[in-house]
Amino acid sequence: MLANRKIVHVLDDLAMGGVTRALKNFEHPELAAMGEHKTIDIRQGRVRASGPDDIAIIHFTANWKKLGWLLDLRLRGGFERIMLIEHSYTQGYESSEVLPKRRFRQMLRLAYRLVDEVVAVSKTQREWMIAHTLAAPDKIIAIPQSRICTDLLTMTPCNRDAGPLQIRAFGRFHKQKGFDLLIKAMARVPADLATLKIAGTGPDADQLEALAHGLDHVDICPPFDSPESFLSEADLVAIPSRWEAFGLVGTEARAAGRPILAARVDGLRDQLDADGFGHAPGSVSSIVSAIYRSVNAANINERGRSSRDRAAVEYDRMISSWCALLSRS
């Protein structure tokens, strides 16, 4: 490593959950040893390298207005390399939220052209970038997101008994997470087959409450402090997101030894594998049939265990991928 190298994390919104968590990953000793990590908010002024070996890692979400910042960084920043982590944009985001797709992709192509490497946070996201030629394939590196789950990895794995299937879901109450679809699906599943508890808070809380009104087998709970207690009775964690760059909820659920029931979209595709129960994104009826499949599955516990086995190695894999990428010259 280069003793005086600075690794500058450039962002514009410290509050965004995915970004804050990603920054935490760089505190891992191996990554911390790659250089001196600094965080800079681009709104506070021009970002400049302090030495010729400095690396800039961009965490903010590109848009037309920010292309100017990127151009400035490229031309006058003085960095040895500029990387961009794509925390936000995916196939699912595009199909759910973007109307002028051609213009949107053009913006991304320009943004990606201004950096040396684009880091996709899931393999599926990388494939989407390649399919729409957003950047040259050798410039896009997929480093599937992960996080440390020490506590979750040691909690008692799921133990499905004869009663209703215990489904849990958690996250921000926002359109992206698709909890509205999940509650609508539950309305079509008899209470003796499955029970759902959703924990969280957010702008759509009232809407979700209204949807769950009158459903005895759907409970909306406040956010929890420790996922361990919320998941202790869970047989399955549902992630019905409309889009999800990676979806660390899936990592947490799997680390807790619970299989996931998730939309086959973006980063959740990476996580479904043979153990998860997939459904078509944005489709209530597809969620219903996935719930029935999981209610009837005799091997929920086994699927939980092998989900955990996979989740257990992902964090180290992510760290070593980052080490390899940062030490590339």
Interface residues with other proteins (CB under 8 A) are 123, 127, 131, 264, 269, 272, 278-283, 285-286, 289-290, 293
Residue 315 Cβ, how far from other proteins at the closest point, in Å? 21
57 versus 134: smaller Cβ distance to other proteins: 134
For the bound state, the minimum distance from the C-beta of residue 104 to other proteins, rounded and expressed in Å, comes to 18
DSSP 260-312: EEEESSHHHHHHHTTTSEEE-TT-HHHHHHHHHHHHH-S-HHHHHHHHHHHHH
CB-nearer residue toward other proteins: 103 or 293: 293
Nearer to other proteins, 148 or 297 (CB): 297
Distance CA 327, CA 1 (A): 7
Give 267 or 278: the residue with its C-beta nearer to other proteins: 278
Looking at residue 6, the DSSP 8-state letter turns out to be E
Using the minimum distance from each CB to other proteins, give the nearer residue, 178 or 278: 278
The DSSP secondary-structure symbol of 160 reads -
CB of 112 to other proteins, least distance (A): 21
Distance CA 116, CA 21 (A): 23
Q: Token pair of 206, please?
A: 């009232």
The contacts of residue 309 (CB under 8 Å, 6+ apart) are none
**Cβ atoms 215, 183 nearer than 8 A:** yes
Nearest distance in Å: CB 263, other proteins: 9
CB of 272 to other proteins, least distance (A): 8
